[in-house]
Amino acid sequence: MRETVIPPQQQGGQLDTDYSVKCSSSEEAMERFRVSAARLLNVNEWDVLCGPLSAKFEVTSPAGTPVNQRAHEGNFFRISIPAPGPDEGDGFDWVRIEAIEHRVDPMLDEARMSMRVRPASNPAREGSDVAHFFGPEATSTFRVSRKGEIVTASVHGRNELPNDDTPTLTDKVRNTIVALGARLGVSSMQWNNLVKGIVEGPPEAGGGQTRN
């Protein structure tokens, strides 16, 4: 299937992490894909899938109010990482869900669910600047796909540049340090755990392969 959700890499850092499981039948793969796609959109439970020391992810309404629902286009989610949060984001890094796509190709025996997010301003602060350690050029695409009997979860970061366009010096320094840490691989454990958890469930089972 033609790529429509992951943007081209043009500048800054890039990240690709995936985890795959080979099922014993097409029927098992279809069911695992269905369950994994539901986990992908259940952002509020991502920290459970990732295990201890995970960042905390919460879906919010377009106004920034936490909601107990699956992710939808136009929602935000706020992220609490194990580090000081930005003042601009009231202690949270913010992203907006700008695309969710579900595609199926019976002829190729393929299916995929993709969600792309982009750093955003704090929706609870009208007119605020981007509240995230990456700038607005960056995107993260979270995906579950099935090809025959193989089910894969993956994360694709594109155009990852530090967000230094912020009005406070403390946020500028903080964003530079956190973005550099992410570029050096600090975030890899988070995403490795997430893709495995999406396919396998909360940490306890195994059987797949993670690649960076």
Run means of pLDDT, 10 residues per run, the chain, 212 residues: 89 95 96 98 96 92 95 96 85 96 94 97 88 95 97 97 86 85 73 96 64 54
Does 67 fall in a domain? Answer: yes
The enclosing domain of 162 has a CATH number of: 3.30.530
The CA distances from residue 211 to 33, 189, 191, in Å, are 19, 11, 11
Residues 6+ apart with CB under 8 A from 109: 26, 147, 148
Does 7 fall in a domain? Answer: no
Q: What is the pLDDT of residue 209?
A: 57
9 DSSP assignment: P
Does 51 fall in a domain? Answer: yes
Distance in angstroms (rounded) separating the CA atoms of residues 146 and 133:
32
List the structure tokens of 161: 């540049």
Does 193 fall in a domain? Answer: yes
Does 1 fall in a domain? Answer: no
Q: What is the pLDDT of residue 65?
A: 95
Does 3 fall in a domain? Answer: no
Whole-model pTM?
0.92
Does 2 fall in a domain? Answer: no
CB 138 within 8 A of CB 145: no
Does 4 fall in a domain? Answer: no
With vertex at residue 46, the alpha carbon angle to CA 45 and CA 47, rounded to the nearest 5 degrees, is 95
Q: What is the pLDDT of residue 211?
A: 56
Q: What is the pLDDT of residue 178?
A: 87
Domain extent at residue 93: 14-211
Q: What is the pLDDT of residue 195?
A: 97
Q: What is the pLDDT of residue 199?
A: 98
Number of structural domains (the chain) is 1
The phi and psi torsions of 173 (rounded to 5 degrees) equal: -65, -45
